[in-house]
Chains A and B, each alone.
Chain A
Amino acid sequence: MDKQYGLIAKFDTPADIMHAAEKVRDAGFKKWDVITPFPLHGLDSAMGLKRSVVGRFTIVGGTFGLTAGMLMIWFTGGSELSLPFMEGYKLIVGGKPYFSPQFAFPVAYEMTILFSAFASIGGMFILNKLPRHHHPVLKYKDVRASSDDKFFLYIENEDPQFDDEKTRAFLNDLEPVEVGELEE
């Protein structure tokens, strides 16, 4: 048998998992998680999670997009800068200025949105440590129910408070359907 990764408890309803999560949070466990088939409203506070920081990636991406867009338009049509492999060329069109943030705005605006979107999704994957195809939860016999209609809660062996017998008893007190082991 493989090394044990943690203990997992199965619950039937959203209300059950919500109460269980509150108790695990109050007991002071650190390395634990809840598996649900859909985002359960209110579970973040029941688990004591802070607000997600994906937005920090978004603002960086958006700022980059806006700056890059404006600079690109200024460089290509409004400057005579010489860069490796490319040179700016002052383009005369209908007596308009070589560069103005007004005509540059639509393109820079689209680039702001494009890079914000890239950054948000990239940030979400980084924060979630995905893709990861070998997580112990994915090997659990009941994994199919976790993306269908059942709710799971697991506590890792790594948790400082973890003790095989005590934690098992603690999980059983939460009145789950069953308690099982996760293998590394």
Chain B
Amino acid sequence: MASAHASTGEVKPAILDEVNPVDIPRPALVANDRSFSWITDKICGIVEEKTPTWWWVCFVLACGTASFTVMGLVYLVSTGTGVWGLANPANWGWAIVNFVFWIGIGHAGTLISAILCLLRQKWRTSINRAAEAMTIFAVVCAGIFPVFHVGRVWMAWFLFPIPNANAIWPNFKSALLWDVFAVSTYGTVSVLFWYVGLIPDLASVRDRATSKIRQVLYGIFSMGWRGSNRQWSNYEMCYLLLAGLSTPLVLSVHTIVSFDFAISLLPGWHTTIFPPYFVAGAIFSGFGMVLTLMLPLRAIYRLDDLITQYHIDCMTKIILATGTMVGYAYGMEFFIAAYGANDFEIFAFVNRAFGNYAWAYWIMISCNVISPQFFWFKKVRQNTALVWIITIFVNIGMWFERFVIAVTTLTRDFLPSSWGYYSPTIVDIFTYVGTFGVFSVLFLLFLRFLPLMAMAEIKAVTPQADAHAHKR
């Protein structure tokens, strides 16, 4: 063939002279053709306006709720870990459930900021700042539980390899220590990533500041940013690298969290499906929480032009996809248990679905597998109130998933004489409910003092930011 081409010299290769790709219009990411300065005014205005009354009401309520965590922890430390509903063999109860729940919530923030950045999903720009804030505050809430679960919290520094007089080092062969490193790295890198993203926007707030104190404070935190393109060039590279680093980080964090269960030898935990299944579940619950937070904000601050129906569609579709993956994992666990023909494994799963925690299992299935299926329908996705309600169900379902995994296996171990029924005590409940207050306090402070959307990034994805648009 090739020689025939060369000899005749006239035969053209089977390539078109001209390629005219179909121009599929993409939905605008900023509706109503808003200008750059409209975006600045809108986002900075939220930080600059007089503190609204609803904010104070929410803040007081959130502080009140947060005090429950404080009460629970003070009582725990002053009395002993026995005040939690833990009893051998169920030495993991709500503490681990709440820890995995909150860490999982955080994962959507990193997914939006890092993975969607690498995949060039431009719709991430209007939600990434708030989602990353959610990540950090969720990690704060998550960290409370394992730290107090160690029992003697004043010894928690033993978790880190700090040279000490007893010449004792932590055991690096334990998945729990891997967790310490995974979660503390995750928290640190999330804060750094968030802060780097904030710098240009803090500079905008600084340049608009009217009072000296705002000018100085926002000035300090914006590092003297001046938007020079020689700086943008390094900044963009740094941001891309951080996105590239956060992507394996976020996947590894929930993988390591699942190792807490998976590398043990207990039926129902000792499965290789755990890492991918935990990661999918984390993203599922995290997007649920992003929507739970962003939909009210969109209504309060009238951000419809920045968080459009397209954004909501994208997020609900991710919830649908990851929810279905989680459902597949639930089914696959049963299949492997049956196919593996291990009596203990089969018992663990039959017990999960039909044992004395069956109520929790079926709450989990209805919330996690069935409720997201409504997102197949455009009518549901366009109904903001309905979307919000479904995301609440997603959050409830994912909490129950961790509860089912942790508790069904522990309360039915190899020795039937130690079987029992685990119930939380009022102290467990106080501590957990209070973390929603801790989270809300932090999130409300974020809304009040920091720009809640990445202005510079949103401007960059508007049509008028395309310098070559006029050549078309």
Contact = CB atoms under 8 A, between A and B. Distances in A.
Contact of A106 (B36, B181, B220, B238): B181
Contacts of A34: 228-229
Given A55-B237, A148-B36, A121 B192 contact: yes
Contact of A110 (B163, B185, B231, B232): B185
B236 interface: yes
Interface stretch (B68-76, B84-92, B241-249, B369-377): B241-249
Interface string B206-232: 111000000000011001111111111
A72 B207 CA distance: 46
Contacts of A58: 241, 245
A121 B196 contact: yes
A130 to B, nearest CB: 5
Given A44-B229, A114-B188, A52 B37 contact: no
Interface string A79-92: 00000011111010
Interface string B238-269: 10011001001100100010010000000000
A49 B238 contact: no
A7 interface: no
B467 A15 contact: yes
A115 to B, nearest CB: 10
Nearest to A84: B163
B367 to A, nearest CB: 31
Contacts of B155: none
Contacts of A125: 223
Contacts of B233: 44, 49, 52
Nearest to B227: A35
Interface string A110-138: 11011011101101110110111111011
Interface string B295-320: 00000000000000000000000000
Nearest to A149: B36
Question: Main SS of chain B's interface residues?
Answer: helix
Interface residues of A, number: 71
Most chain A CB within 10 A, of B177, B233, B236, B466, is at B233
Contact of B223 (A113, A123, A131): A131
A55 B227 CA distance: 21
Contacts of A13: 464, 467
A109 B259 CA distance: 15
Interface string B182-202: 100100110011001000100
A39 B219 contact: no
B169 A89 contact: yes
Contact of B171 (A36, A49, A93, A116): A93
A49 B234 CA distance: 11
B193 to A, nearest CB: 8
Contacts of A52: 233-234, 236-238
Interface string B436-472: 0000000000000000000111011000111111100
B365 to A, nearest CB: 31
B229 A47 contact: yes
Contacts of A96: 173
Interface string A137-170: 1100001101111000000000000000000000
B185 A39 contact: no
Interface in B15-65: 35-37, 40
A14 B465 contact: yes
Contacts of B241: 54-55, 58, 116, 120
Name the interface size band of chain B: 35 or more
Contact of A76 (B36, B170, B238, B249): B170
A35 B228 CA distance: 4
A41 interface: yes
B80 interface: no
A43 interface: yes
B172 interface: yes
Contact of A38 (B223, B242, B460): B460
Contact of B225 (A15, A120, A130): A130
Contacts of A132: 223-224
B207 A147 contact: yes
A148 B208 CA distance: 9
B410 interface: no
A106 to B, nearest CB: 4
Nearest to B165: A85
A107 interface: yes
Interface of A: 13-15, 17-18, 21, 33-44, 47, 49, 51-52, 54-55, 58, 72-73, 76-77, 85-89, 91, 93-94, 96, 103-104, 106-107, 109-111, 113-114, 116-118, 120-121, 123-125, 127-128, 130-135, 137-138, 143-144, 146-149
Given A21-B229, A52-B233, 16 more contacts: A15-B469, A18-B468, A33-B229, A33-B230, A35-B229, A39-B456, A41-B467, A86-B167, A106-B175, A110-B178, A116-B241, A117-B189, A120-B242, A130-B225, A133-B224, A147-B227
Closest 5 pairs between A and B when the two form their complex, measured CB to CB: A149-B36, A52-B237, A124-B238, A76-B169, A86-B163
25 contacts: A14-B467, A38-B200, A38-B460, A39-B235, A44-B229, A51-B237, A52-B234, A73-B172, A103-B173, A104-B172, A106-B256, A107-B172, A107-B178, A111-B181, A113-B245, A117-B192, A117-B193, A120-B241, A124-B234, A124-B237, A133-B224, A134-B224, A144-B208, A146-B227, A148-B207
